[in-house]
Amino acid sequence: MKTGIDAISFDVANIHLPIKTLAIARNIEPEKLEKGLGLIKMTLPDVHQDAVVFGANALTKLILENEINLNEISRIYVGTESGIDSSKPISSFLISLMEQKFGEDSLAECDVVDFTFACIGGVDALQNCIDFVKLNPTKKAIVVTTDFAKYDLNSTGEYTQGAGALAMLVTSNPRIIAFDDNWATSTKGVFDFFKPYRTISKEAITQNENNDPWFDNLEAEIEIHKDQPVFDGQYSNQCYMDRTRNAYFSFKKLKNTTETLYNTWNSIIMHLPYSFQGRRMLSEIYALDHADKIIAENIEPADYQTKIKEVGKSDEYRKFVTEKLQPAELASSLIGNLYTGSIFMGLLSTLAHYYDTKQEVAGTKFGFLAYGSGSKSKVFEGTIQPEWQSALAKTKLFENLEESTEIGFETYESLHKKEQNQSIRTPKNEWVLDRIEKEIPVLIGARYYKWID
């Protein structure tokens, strides 16, 4: 029996800032970002949007476009690192909104939970749902990835921002892709990128030495939540390479093969914090697993790094990138980082590219190299199914991305600082954040959403 993704939908923030606009404002040479990193646009949440909104919109599209009977859905598992509550998961919001639209108690027996492990949480959710369907072939599950990649203004991560969600129906005998049984993992606990609880003394805020109550806070220290991470870009890149390399060669062992593994994959789907990240990270694996043994076993460390750089600049590797990696980069260039959704947007981008260019890929294998900071990598593979084109007919990825509204730099900074009060675009046929409770004591902070026709 085959198990995998039967249907897929997405919802991406529909306003964007051109990377060239950001580069000029930050005194960065635009070509460094556009041609060096593959960045063209970065998408941003509108005033009425958050991670719940993106997830709910993607899930609603999945249900409507595929005429899904919610009574057949046994679980909805969410991958995210943009949670809006330390207790209540995004998945619990999603079932509430789906029942609001499709009928009370239509998901009352559906299991829901969120998976959080930086950018790999969605892959964890997918693997769990695949295992569930394997044990229960008549049941169906849905994986939702939803995130907002927000970085501090003027930081080195600012130009990689993005926002959106994907929703995937996981079934037996799927129409799009069936995954093989082997999944390799490499894990190490590190601080390459994280979102800690931060504190500031109450005295620093109030200028009062007495620990008097301040907006119902009795503690002398005030906890602060920021969407923006603490990160070390160079160290995170090294962790990405180390975890992915180790997982890749563990996967080779699981496959019990000595052949060059990446040559067996028609396309390679990787986590893309920015469009060209995958091609930069994969050159080491490419060299180490090359049939001609590009790197000698006794090579000196300094020579090793030099050789890797040479491989990355070679015509052979560039041809490899064009054939196996570039289709997944296309959407990333127009969206930015989707954190947990990045690798799945890479899959959708690849399939949409083949669909639009009328290339048949049924029966070919796709390799997946997932990564999440903190840190963990998973490597797995799947086979594209005969009905993949009919399953993607309504998705229209690139057509939708063309409808995004361009904003200026001042508007971008206003949105980033949460100074903007009015939505840039008028919501239509989508979920919106309606209000956040500020008065009722037992509901302080509760978020309420509604559907706008």
What 3 state SS string does the chain have?
CCEEEEEEEEEECCEEEEHHHHHHHCCCCHHHHHCCCCCCEEEECCCCCCHHHHHHHHHHHHHHHCCCCHHHEEEEEEECCCCCCCCCCHHHHHHHHHHHHHCCCCCCCCEEEEECECECHHHHHHHHHHHHHHHCCCCEEEEEEEEEECCCCCCCCHHHCEEEEEEEEEEECCCCEEECCCCEEEECCCCCEECCCEEEEHHHHHCCCCCCCECCECCCEEEECCCCCEECHHHHHHHHHHHHHHHHHHHHHHHCCCCCHHHHCCEEEECCCCCCHHHHHHHHHHHHCCCCCCCCCCCCHHHHHHHHHHHHHCHHHHHHHHHHCHHHHHHHHHHCCCHHHHHHHHHHHHHHHHHHCCCCCCCCEEEEEEEECCCEEEEEEEEECCCHHHHHCCCCHHHHHCCCEECCHHHHHHHHCCCCCCCCCCCCCEEEEEEECCCCHHHCCCEEEEEEC
| Per-residue pLDDT tens over the stretch 311-367 | 999 999 999 999 999 999 999 999 999 999 999 999 999 999 999 999 999 999 999
Q: What is the β-pairing status of strands 376-384 and 430-436?
A: unpaired
Q: According to the model, what pLDDT value does residue 190 have?
A: 98
What is the reported pLDDT for 75?
98
Taking residues 250-271, what's their average pLDDT?
97
- CA proximity to 82, closest of 143, 152, 148: 148
Q: What whole-number percentage of the chain has pLDDT above 90?
A: 95
pLDDT score at 251: 98
pLDDT value of position 421: 92
Q: How far is CA 111 from CA 51, 108, 212, 248, 393, in A?
A: 20, 8, 43, 32, 29
pLDDT, tens digit (0-9, with 9 covering 90-100), for 238-248: 999 999 999 99
- The residues that bridge with 112 in the sheet, in sequence order, are 76
Cα 192 to chain centroid, rounded: 17
Instruction: Give the mean pLDDT of 17-40.
Output: 98
Please report which confidence band the pLDDT of residue 291 belongs to, taking 50, 70 and 90 as the band edges: confident
pLDDT tens for each residue of 155-209: 999 999 999 999 999 999 999 999 999 999 999 999 999 999 999 999 999 999 8
pLDDT at 303: 85
Rounded mean pLDDT, 110-116? 98
- Alpha-carbon span 436 to 110, nearest angstrom: 26
Integer Cα distance of 56 and 91 in angstroms: 9
**Which of the four pLDDT bands, split at 50, 70 and 90, describes residue 440?**
very high
Residue 409 reports pLDDT greater than 80: yes
- CB count in 10 Å sphere of residue 342: 33
Q: In angstroms, rounded to a whole number, what is the distance separating the alpha carbons of residues 91 and 89?
A: 5
Burial of 209: CB neighbours in 10 Å, binned 0-12, 13-18, 19+: exposed
pTM over 0.85: yes
pLDDT of 305 reads: 87
Position 299 scores a pLDDT of: 82
Bridge-based pairing of strands 405-406 and 15-18 is: parallel
With left for phi above 0 and alpha for psi between -120 and 50, is residue 339 left, alpha or beta? left
Determine the average pLDDT of the residues in 208-216.
90
pLDDT in tens, 417-435: 999 999 999 999 999 999 9
Q: State residue 301's pLDDT score.
A: 79
> CA dist 379 to 186, 376, 399, Å?
9, 10, 31
Query: In the predicted model, what is the mean pLDDT of residues 3-9?
Result: 98
pLDDT of residue 36 exceeding 80: yes
Cα–Cα distance between 58 and 8 in angstroms, integer? 9
- The pLDDT of residue 15 is 98
| Mean of all residue pLDDT scores within the chain | 96
pLDDT value for 370: 98
The pLDDT of 53-82, averaged and rounded, is: 98
pLDDT at 321: 98
Question: What is the pLDDT, as a whole number, of residue 133?
Answer: 98
Quickly state the pLDDT bin for 296 (edges 50, 70, 90).
confident
- Give the pLDDT score at 292: 84
Domains of the chain with CATH codes: 3-192+232-452 (3.40.47.10), 194-224 (no CATH)
pLDDT at 293 over 90: no
Whether 39 has a pLDDT exceeding 90, the answer reads: yes
When comparing pLDDT for 293 and 185, which is higher? Answer: 185
pLDDT at 19: 98
Question: Does pLDDT of 83 surpass 90?
Answer: yes
Calpha distance 450→427 (Å, rounded): 11
Distances (CA, A) of 360 to 15, 104, 141, 345, 392: 33, 42, 27, 19, 13
Q: Is residue 298 over pLDDT 80?
A: no
Give buried/exposed letters for 319-333 (b at 16+ CB in 10 A, else e): ebbeebbbbbbbbbb
pLDDT above 90 for 295: no
446 φ/ψ sector (left φ>0, alpha ψ -120 to 50, else beta): beta
